[in-house]
Structure formats: structure tokens, C-alpha cells
């Protein structure tokens, strides 16, 4: 069974997704006029004004924190370590590349999620790929397929991955049995999950900025005390990415392939660009400026912070140490802990354990919110199956804490890959709407007026969007 699962993962990532995601990123980068580079300062401008919303609404900043809570987790700390161990230092280059071009893809999916969002019976905005597949393409079957993949990936498998890393880190740092950590995670997750969508958003807004800043400060300190070695690390990443340090053509080809696959795979797991997951958080916001594209800019910044900033911080910790040893068997969160311990002493192990607790725990509750939205899509906004589903989610959290890393990571790769394929196909089909929304927003911004979405400017779009969501 394990061999079959590994073969499916290898097919998806070795033959299909690497090329599909790069193609999507390049396609939207070109069609949107290199938006992630040209409009880079504007991303921050929108972010600084994104806390504006009504008292009972979810702001763009809260939606951003929710998506960042899902993004910033195991992928940033354990996933980077796995990529370095399996793909070598060159994997980091490909992680950067998929992030930079993936920013355009993230803009596309988040903008569409905002445009096609709906309002549920409790007054919450909900949306995401399943909704724009149904409303924008008229293909509910496609939305159903995506929802099933997302529920499997984020509701179940990814939460097992997150709890696995927390349990492993606490076992190394504090010698706490994994089952004890699992029980604690189930209780903590349950309290927030049963509190609903707004509780999750407020929790993310409170925790995510703090935890990201603390981790970055430690990484900056490590880089500062090792600043003379930083140029060598950058050269090593570049050389390894293109196989310049290997001897022999066969070794070069294999090394580059492994670096590319591992970098793109773990980069996507971390930043989720093109996967369609963060779009679910983007849809919950009451955006400011009141235009779908403004949330596109906010979520695009999330990809940059997640991969270019936080993943690079983890890679620096590891590559500036002597802990990356091929065939040693030390990978995942244990490798990150060992690296920081080398730099700062024993407290580094404890710090990583606490950091992964915050990173991964917020990912669990944010991942659940994505799955909840897609379950409601399947049930036509009914909440009948919600209680049972919440129990299943908590069960997977427990399973992940006591399970083995290898098979869990592989299952995560497969479910993530299937999600991404369905979503990217939909993005290509709706690319015209993305381009129109981007041009409409930028034209208003250039005129010096507050970009405001007027659905009547686009007759086809006016018929497809929810009139209660965009009045």
C-alpha cells in the first residue's frame, strides 16, 4: 500500500504539478503585467488600511492573518528542513521561484474568491474555488470535486501533519509523550473550532503577527552572528539549484531534479499559491478598498511573507549550522531544532518547540475553517453534518500526534496535488475575469479615487455574483 501511495505522489509531483504550477504562475504573471513586481509597494499600502470593517464583520487583515495562520506552520519549519535533506540547498532557490511567480496565482484565486463570495444565514461571507467554479463556470461538479479534495487535505491530512510536528518537537525538547501532546491539542483545537468562523479570525489576528515576529527576530540574530558565512550560503543555494557543485552529468541531472521537485513541493505546501486554500480565507473578508482585487493584493503579500521571508529564515538557520548531513536520518522539525541548538545552545530546542506549537496550532484551526466552508458548499449552506465533521478533524489531530511522519507527508502531498490541479484548471478558465477585475481596480486607483467594485460595469459578472454579497 505504501508503495502505491508513493508512486501516485511521484507521478503527481514528478510529471504533472511541477510544470502546471510554474505554467500557471508564469501565465498570470504575464497576463497581469508582472503585478507582483510592479505593484509590490501597493501590497503594503493595502495591508496598512486593511483593518477597516464593521464591528461584526471580518476585516481584510483578519482574513490575511487567518490565511497566514494556515500558511505559516509545519511547512515553514519542518517542510523546509525536509526539502533541504531530500533536495539539498538548491531546493531553497526553487522554493523562492515558485513563491515569486506564485504570488500572481495567489492574486488571481483570492480576487475571484472575493468576487464570487456568498453570504450565509449567520451573516458570514463564505467563498473560495468551489464557489467560483459553480458561479463563474456553472460547473458545480467541479466545485464538489475541489471541496472533497480540500476537506481531505486541510480538514484531515494537513491537520495530522501539523500535530505530528508539534508532538515530535515537544518529545525532543521536553520529553513529553506524543499521546499527551495529542490530547492537549485536541482540547485546545476543539475550544476554538466549536467557537465558529469569527472566533478563528480573531484568534489568528491575535497570535499570528506575534509568533511570526518572534521567530524572525531569532533568525535575524543567528544571521547576524554568522554574517561572514551568509555569502557562502547564498552561493551554495544557487550552485546546488543548477547542479554546479556535482561531479558528473548523471549526478547533475538527478541533483537538479530533486532540488526542483522538493523545493516546489515544499514551497507550495508552505505558501499554498495556486492550491485554492487561502482563497477560502480571502472570501470571508469585507475588503477595503471595497473591491475584490484589494484582497488579491493582501493575499499576494501573504505568499511573500510566508516563503521569501519565513522559509528563508529557517533555511538560513539550517545552512549556517553543521546539522544538514545526508543519510543521517535527521530531518523535519528535529533538524531545525538541532540547527538552532548549535547556534544558541539548549534553549534553541525549547524555542523551536514553542514556535512550532504556535505555528502549527494556528494552522490547525485555520485549516479547519477552510474545510468548514467547503463542507457548507457541499451541503448547500446547511450545518447538519458539522458536529460529526468537527469530531473527525479532532480525531485526525490525535492520529497525527502519534503517527509516523513519512506516510503522513506523502498523503498530504497527494491530496494537495489533486486540489491544485482542479483549482489551476478553473483559474485558467476564469482568467479573463481576473484580468478585468485587476484592470478595473488599477484604473480607479490611478485616477486617485477609492477603488470600488461596480458589478454592473461587467454584465456577465453582474449575473454571476451574489447580490447579497455585492450590493
C-alpha cell at 344: 544558541
| Higher per-residue pLDDT: 382 or 231 | 231
Asked if the model's pLDDT at residue 466 lies above 90, the reply is no
Q: Would you say residue 462 lies in a domain?
A: no
Q: Would you say residue 347 lies in a domain?
A: yes
- Is residue 137 within 8 A of residue 376, CB to CB? The reply is no
Distance (Å, whole) CA 396 – CA 390? 10
Across 85-94, 190-199, 307-316, 428-437, least confident range: 190-199
Provide the mean pLDDT of the chain.
84
* Beta strand segments in 4-163, E: 118-119, 125-126
Q: Would you say residue 281 lies in a domain?
A: yes
Distance (Å, whole) CA 380 – CA 382? 6
Tell me the C-alpha to C-alpha distance, in Å, between residue 295 and each of 30, 31, 285, 305, 441: 20, 18, 8, 15, 11
pLDDT for res 67: 80
Cα-Cα-Cα-Cα dihedral of 376, 379, 384, 387, to 10°? -50
| Higher per-residue pLDDT: 381 or 219 | 219
Asked if the model's pLDDT at residue 369 lies above 80, the reply is yes
Distance (Å, whole) CA 9 – CA 164? 20
pLDDT for res 249: 41
pLDDT for res 199: 77
pLDDT for res 359: 77
CA atoms within 13 A on the CB side of 417: 25
- Is residue 314 within 8 A of residue 320, CB to CB? The reply is no
Residue 53 binned pLDDT confidence (cut-offs 50, 70, 90)? low
| The most confident of 188-197, 215-224, 390-399, 407-416, by mean pLDDT | 390-399
Which one-letter DSSP state was computed for residue 272?
-
Asked if the model's pLDDT at residue 54 lies above 60, the reply is no
Cα-Cα-Cα-Cα dihedral of 183, 68, 319, 352, to 10°? -30
C-alpha cell at 392: 473527525
C-alpha cell at 405: 511522519
Distance (Å, whole) CA 324 – CA 438? 43
- Is residue 164 within 8 A of residue 400, CB to CB? The reply is yes
Residue 202 binned pLDDT confidence (cut-offs 50, 70, 90)? confident
Range 191-196 average pLDDT: 82
pLDDT for res 244: 62
Residue 363 binned pLDDT confidence (cut-offs 50, 70, 90)? confident
Distance (Å, whole) CA 75 – CA 406? 14
pLDDT for res 205: 73
Q: Would you say residue 453 lies in a domain?
A: no
Residue 158 binned pLDDT confidence (cut-offs 50, 70, 90)? confident
Q: What is the pTM of this model?
A: 0.85
Distance (Å, whole) CA 272 – CA 302? 10
Distance (Å, whole) CA 202 – CA 200? 6
Distance (Å, whole) CA 160 – CA 5? 17
- Is residue 296 within 8 A of residue 110, CB to CB? The reply is yes
Tens of pLDDT, residue by residue over 317-360, are 888 888 887 777 777 778 888 888 888 888 888 887 788 788 77
Nearest to 315 by CA among 332, 336, 334: 336
Distance (Å, whole) CA 405 – CA 95? 21
- Is residue 104 within 8 A of residue 22, CB to CB? The reply is no
Tell me the C-alpha to C-alpha distance, in Å, between residue 394 and each of 109, 156, 253: 28, 9, 43
Asked if the model's pLDDT at residue 208 lies above 80, the reply is no
Helix (H, G, I), strand (E, B) or coil at 59: strand
pLDDT for res 117: 92
Tens of pLDDT, residue by residue over 420-464, are 899 999 999 999 999 999 999 999 999 999 999 998 898 888 889
**What is the largest distance, in Å, between two alpha-carbon atoms of the chain?**
63
Asked if the model's pLDDT at residue 404 lies above 80, the reply is no
Task: Count up the domains in the chain and report the number.
Answer: 1
Of all residues in the chain, the percent with pLDDT exceeding 70 is 92
Across 51-55, 245-249, 300-304, 356-360, least confident range: 245-249
DSSP per-residue letters across 212-230 = HHHHHHHHHHHHHHTGGGH
Tens of pLDDT, residue by residue over 251-283, are 445 567 777 777 877 777 677 788 888 898 888
Domain region containing 172: 15-444
Residue 250 binned pLDDT confidence (cut-offs 50, 70, 90)? very low
- Is residue 223 within 8 A of residue 230, CB to CB? The reply is yes
Tens of pLDDT, residue by residue over 12-47, are 866 787 788 889 999 999 999 999 999 999 998 888
Q: CATH code at 72?
A: 1.20.1740.10
Which one-letter DSSP state was computed for residue 332?
T
Q: Would you say residue 1 lies in a domain?
A: no
pLDDT for res 438: 96
Q: Would you say residue 10 lies in a domain?
A: no
| Higher per-residue pLDDT: 56 or 293 | 293
pLDDT for res 331: 74
Across 49-63, 199-213, 332-346, 409-423, least confident range: 49-63
Distance (Å, whole) CA 379 – CA 229? 55
Distance (Å, whole) CA 101 – CA 34? 9
Q: Would you say residue 294 lies in a domain?
A: yes
Q: Distance between alpha carbon 120 and the CA centroid of its chain, in Å?
A: 25
Residue 204 binned pLDDT confidence (cut-offs 50, 70, 90)? confident
C-alpha cell at 64: 490575511
Tens of pLDDT, residue by residue over 283-310, are 888 888 899 999 999 999 988 988 888 8
Cα-Cα-Cα-Cα dihedral of 362, 368, 372, 373, to 10°? 50
Tens of pLDDT, residue by residue over 116-131, are 999 877 777 889 999 9
Q: Would you say residue 360 lies in a domain?
A: yes
Distance (Å, whole) CA 462 – CA 322? 58
DSSP per-residue letters across 284-312 = T-B-SSSSHHHHHHHHHHHHIIIIIIIIH
Amino acid at each position: 500500500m505504501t508503495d502505491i501511495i508513493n508512486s501516485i505522489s511521484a507521478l503527481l509531483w514528478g510529471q504533472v504539478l511541477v510544470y502546471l504550477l510554474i505554467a500557471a504562475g508564469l501565465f498570470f504573471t504575464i497576463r497581469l503585467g508582472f503585478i507582483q513586481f510592479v505593484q509590490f509597494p501597493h501590497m503594503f499600502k493595502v495591508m496598512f488600511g486593511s483593518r477597516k470593517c464593521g464591528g461584526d464583520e471580518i476585516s481584510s487583515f483578519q482574513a490575511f492573518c487567518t490565511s497566514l495562520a494556515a500558511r505559516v506552520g509545519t511547512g515553514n519549519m519542518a517542510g523546509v528542513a525536509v526539502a533541504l535533506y531530500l533536495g539539498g540547498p538548491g531546493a531553497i532557490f526553487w522554493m523562492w521561484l515558485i513563491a515569486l511567480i506564485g504570488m500572481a496565482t495567489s492574486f488571481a484565486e483570492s480576487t475571484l474568491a472575493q468576487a464570487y463570495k456568498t453570504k450565509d444565514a449567520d451573516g458570514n461571507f463564505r467563498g473560495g474555488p468551489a464557489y467560483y467554479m459553480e458561479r463563474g463556470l456553472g460547473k458545480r461538479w467541479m466545485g464538489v470535486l475541489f471541496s472533497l479534495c480540500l476537506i481531505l487535505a486541510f480538514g484531515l491530512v494537513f491537520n495530522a501533519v501539523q500535530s505530528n510536528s508539534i508532538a515530535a518537537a515537544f518529545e525532543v525538547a521536553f520529553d513529553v509523550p506524543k499521546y499527551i501532546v495529542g490530547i492537549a491539542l485536541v482540547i485546545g483545537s476543539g475550544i476554538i473550532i466549536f467557537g465558529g468562523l469569527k472566533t478563528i479570525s480573531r484568534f489568528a489576528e491575535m497570535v499570528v503577527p506575534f509568533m511570526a515576529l518572534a521567530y524572525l527576530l531569532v533568525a535575524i540574530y543567528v544571521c547576524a552572528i554568522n554574517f561572514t558565512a551568509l555569502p557562502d550560503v547564498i552561493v551554495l543555494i544557487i550552485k546546488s539549484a543548477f547542479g554546479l557543485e556535482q561531479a558528473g552529468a548523471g549526478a547533475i541531472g538527478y541533483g537538479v531534479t530533486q532540488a526542483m521537485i522538493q523545493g516546489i513541493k515544499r514551497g507550495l505546501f508552505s505558501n499554498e499559491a495556486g492550491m485554492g486554500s487561502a482563497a477560502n480565507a480571502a472570501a470571508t473578508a469585507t475588503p477595503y478598498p471595497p473591491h475584490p482585487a484589494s484582497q488579491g493584493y493582501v493575499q499576494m503579500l501573504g505568499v511573500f511573507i510566508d516563503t521569501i521571508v519565513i522559509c528563508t529564515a529557517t533555511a538560513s538557520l539550517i545552512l549556517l549550522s553543521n546539522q544538514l548531513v545526508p543519510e543521517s536520518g535527521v530531518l523535519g522539525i528535529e533538524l531545525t531544532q538541532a540547527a538552532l541548538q548549535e547556534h544558541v545552545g539548549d534553549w534553541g530546542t525549547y524555542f523551536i518547540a514553542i514556535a512550532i506549537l504556535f505555528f502549527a496550532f494556528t494552522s490547525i484551526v485555520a485549516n479547519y475553517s477552510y474545510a468548514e466552508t467547503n463542507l457548507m458548499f457541499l451541503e448547500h449552506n446547511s450545518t447538519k453534518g458539522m458536529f460529526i465533521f468537527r469530531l473527525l478533524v479532532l480525531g485526525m489531530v490525535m492520529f497525527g500526534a502519534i503517527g509516523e511522519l513519512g506516510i503522513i507527508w506523502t498523503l498530504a502531498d497527494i491530496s494537495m496535488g489533486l486540489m491544485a490541479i482542479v483549482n489551476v484548471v478553473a483559474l485558467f478558465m476564469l482568467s479573463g475575469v481576473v484580468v478585468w477585475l485587476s484592470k478595473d481596480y488599477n484604473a480607479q486607483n490611478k485616477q486617485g479615487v477609492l477603488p470600488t467594485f461596480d458589478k454592473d460595469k461587467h454584465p456577465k459578472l453582474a449575473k454571476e455574483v451574489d447580490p447579497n454579497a455585492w450590493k
